[in-house]
Chain A
Amino acid sequence: DIQMTQSPSSLSASVGDRVTITCRASQSITGYLNWYQQKLGKAPKLVIYAASRLHSGVPSRFSGSGSGTDFTLTISSLQPEDFATYFCQQSYSTPYTFGQGTKLEIK
């Protein structure tokens, strides 16, 4: 199975900050990397798919990059509604696996 490792596990930041979350795969997944946002008590929501494609309705302050084994999710200017947990997921091969999550908290 492909292991997905996110860093950091938690992150404190302020409104307006630029933040970056990293996801590393245990083997190459080319560009089959997706990012989800989950707020407490809610279902996850897709943010980025295919490493860099913005899902419909997602603000343009979110962006994704990377290929092979190393990927990043960047939020250019944090807004209050962005504080949540973010998960990466590889869709290269089954079983599709997720990172352990990065909890983004208000400083």
Chain B
Amino acid sequence: EVQLVESGGGLVQPGRSLRLSCAASGFTFEDYAMHWVRQAPGKGLEWVSGISSNSGYIGYVDSVKGRFTISRDNAKRSLYLQMNSLRAEDMALYYCARGGIYRGYDSSHFDYWGQGALVTVSS
């Protein structure tokens, strides 16, 4: 069974940093791209960042470029999101999601999701 478990969320002041982690199990982690998707309270979904299986490709939404860094450790079956210079608008539930594969290629649909890590940005 595919499982994704996020951790590291919490309350942080504007301008400070936080690091999210996602522990994966139930599948061959190194074969899949991984993503972070967030959802502000009562709002829709926003893709934040993605990383290919070998970390060769990394992408971000413009609003977090230069502040957030995605990384992964395939040996530890873990995905990370380092979030610096946090703003009020970054407050959201952050989901870790696996990138799906279609016809042998990463097709960037999100086929399994964790339960999310809540990030609250407030003074």
Contact = CB atoms under 8 A, between A and B. Distances in A.
Interface size class of B (residues with CB under 8 A): 20 to 34
Nearest to B6: A43
A53 B111 CA distance: 12
A74 interface: no
B59 A43 contact: no
Interface stretch (A13-21, A65-73, A93-101): A93-101
Main secondary structure of the interface of B (DSSP, over half): strand
A94 B59 contact: yes
B108 A96 contact: yes
Interface size class of A (residues with CB under 8 A): 20 to 34
A106 B102 CA distance: 34
B44 A96 contact: no
Given A49-B111, A50-B102, A95 B44 contact: no
A42 B111 CA distance: 15
Contact of B44 (A32, A34, A101): A101
A45 interface: yes
A49 B113 contact: no
B109 A49 contact: yes
A42 B107 CA distance: 24
Given A32-B107, A43-B95, A96-B50, A87 B45 contact: yes
Given A43-B113, A91-B109, A95-B59, A49 B45 contact: no
Interface in B84-101: 95, 100
A46 B100 contact: yes
Interface of B: 35, 37, 44-47, 50, 59-62, 95, 100, 102, 107-116
Interface of A: 1, 32, 34, 36, 42-46, 49-50, 53, 55, 87, 89, 91, 94-101
